[in-house]
Amino acid sequence: MNIYMEILEKEGRSSEIVSIVLEILVAVLCDDESPDEGMGQDEIGERLAEIIVRRKAFITSIMALVESYEFAVRRGVIQLLTALLRHRASEVQTAIVEEPMGVSRLVDLLHDTREIIRNSTVLMMSELSRAHPQIQQLLAYENAFQLLFDVIDVEPMESIVIEDCLYVILNLLRKNPKNQQLFREASLIQRLAILLNCFLNGREGEEDLPQHDYGWQKQKIANVIFLFQVVRSLISPQDNSQNNTHAAQKAISQSGMLKNLCGVLLSEIISTVEVLTEAIITVAEVICGDYPNQEYFSTRSLATDAGNRPALIVLLLSMNTERQPFKLRCAVFYCFLCYLYDNEFGKTKVIDTLLPSGTSSDTEITTG
């Protein structure tokens, strides 16, 4: 192992030798060929990663190799960093932060036009951005948000790369108020809204299977759910200050995303319980404690044979249907509570609905 590390430190100019050594190190750190011995191999990888990380100046040598444009070298460096981060995240993160322009050099890899390099960089960033506020902050300042959205823009809607990009964005935003502020100020909520619209209606000029005939592919479902989680990271009342939450709620409404989210709730196209449940929870947190959003939600309706039914009534009726999955009914109840939260006018409308009235017809259903 020491010999391999010495080669990387001293033979950095020999691309062929370096690429072979990198390939060997990656192979011993993450051998996937023996599933029956997974636990033992993982322990070996952990010990080898510890030996590598403890060697002084090794991360410096690895970071120097990032500058190489040679495909095999650059891919090997990214894969090695990814493996080391999975095994010894804290030590590797600290070493990268201590490197001059360390984070900046890694973000620059997203500019690489070769898809394999770019996509491998996204995977590496998913490990790099975990549970390290300083690195999360540095990534945001290096325009990682914008670059990740640029990657998303050129990927098919069913691509797993979109999930990987959204996962990194989620890591950078969750419980990080400074990054959330940067995200809003860069008008990136608008890009989230555009992405949601593309998931629901398809990109212009991009062929897509009719959703009502074939349903959504599993990967597209996963991508949409991650998108909802990114939105909720900006507005969750448990993780964010009231000021941050209200600023994000306002931006989401102005971007047109709330309109599309409500459309998901009332759409017959979305047939998966997972997507519908996540959409309901997302709508709930977008309207929670925000009267303009609550009022907009109350105006949305679904056209039925019996006439237009308000969205709130449609949801409440679904909550009382036993054949609906339990998690979906819980999501509906949460949405109902969020609609009523700090909404005196909404509470009055609901009470009026529950009171008996001799003038209302059997077919008329309202929220007031």
Q: From first to last of its 368 residues, what are the pLDDT tens digits of the chain?
A: 677 777 777 776 788 899 998 999 899 888 654 545 545 567 888 888 888 888 878 899 899 999 999 999 999 999 999 999 999 999 999 999 999 999 999 999 999 999 999 999 999 999 999 999 999 999 999 999 999 999 999 999 999 999 999 999 999 999 999 999 999 999 999 999 999 999 988 877 666 544 443 468 899 999 999 999 999 999 998 888 899 999 999 999 999 999 999 988 887 666 688 999 999 999 999 999 999 999 999 998 877 666 677 888 888 887 777 788 889 999 999 999 999 999 998 888 877 766 665 544 444 444 44
The helix (run of H) or strand (run of E) holding residue 304 is strand 301-304
pLDDT at 332: 92
> Against a cut of 0.75, is the pTM above it?
yes
pLDDT at 215: 64
The neighbouring-strand residues paired with 303 are 308
Contact 177, 241 (CB under 8 A): yes
Copy the structure tokens of residue 20. Answer: 């072979």
Q: Which one, of 43, 42, 5, 40, lies nearest residue 25 by Cα?
A: 5
Looking at domain 1-131, its CATH architecture is Alpha Horseshoe (1.25)
- Looking up tokens 């597209």 gives 220
**SS3 call for 309:** strand
The helix (run of H) or strand (run of E) holding residue 310 is strand 307-310
Q: What are phi and psi of 304, to 5 degrees?
A: -130, 175
Contact 68, 15 (CB under 8 A): yes
DSSP conformation letters of 122-164 = HHHHHHHTTT-HHHHHHHHHTTHHHHHHHHHHTS-TT-HHHHH
Between the two ends of the chain, the Cα-to-Cα distance in Å is 74
Kindly list the distances between the CA atom of residue 296 and the CA atoms of 61, 287, 309, 340, in Å, as whole numbers in the listed order: 56, 9, 15, 13
Q: How many CB atoms lie within 10 A of CB 16?
A: 11
Q: What are phi and psi of 339, to 5 degrees?
A: -65, -40
Q: What are phi and psi of 354, to 5 degrees?
A: -75, -25
- Looking up tokens 């529950």 gives 354
pLDDT at 126: 96
The helix (run of H) or strand (run of E) holding residue 336 is helix 326-340
Distance CA 239, CA 251 (A): 18
Which sign does the torsion angle of CA 294, 299, 302, 306 carry? Answer: positive
- Looking up tokens 């790099």 gives 128
What residues contact residue 58 under an 8 Å CB cut-off, 6+ apart? 5, 8, 9, 52
Distance CA 317, CA 4 (A): 66
- Domain ranges within the chain, ordered by starting residue: 1-131
pLDDT at 270: 65
Distance CA 48, CA 42 (A): 10
pLDDT at 255: 96
pLDDT at 362: 44
pLDDT at 367: 44
